[in-house]
Amino acid sequence: MKNNIEEEPKCYFERNTIIILIWACFAIAFDVLGYYVLNIPSPWGVFVSIPGLILSIQTLWLILNPYVLFYKTKFEIKQSFIYNKEIYYLDVKLVELKNNNVIITYNDYSKEKLPTIGLRNSHRQAMFETLKQEIELSNLNRDF
């Protein structure tokens, strides 16, 4: 039976406000253009308003969701509506910060670069320190 209890995050880090404002400006621009083209009897109005709708939903999603969520056993990166990633601390061996990018080394020595472009600059170092601390605790509690 599946456990339906939702786990509460220990901490989270917010998005960069400028990125959200840029997304909102693009969404408003496409929405206004779509409204203008739909008011003129033109078949192109539907094609113009669909990207505006998608950008508006993406902007609302960016406002409502934090960038990184830390849980007891995992962390989630929610970069966009499409890119959501869950990474368990048990799978990670090492974390590095190079050129403001977080590089994760897994137990099988494969590496992955995590996108941090949407994260606030003031939160980047704190997020890295929290991630490093959680992975070190996980490494100490492993049985293998």
| pLDDT per residue as tens digits for the range 16-60 | 999 999 999 999 999 999 999 988 888 888 888 899 999 999 999
pLDDT band at 2 (very low <50, low <70, confident <90, very high): low
Q: Which of 77, 82, 78, 28 is nearest to 55 (CA)?
A: 28
Facing residues of 80 across strands?
none
Q: Which tens digit of pLDDT belongs to each residue from 124-144?
A: 889 999 999 999 998 888 765
Residue 122 pLDDT exceeds 60: yes
Mean pLDDT of the chain: 88
Pairing of strands 68-70, 84-88: unpaired
Q: Which of 68, 61, 60 is nearest to 86 (CA)?
A: 68
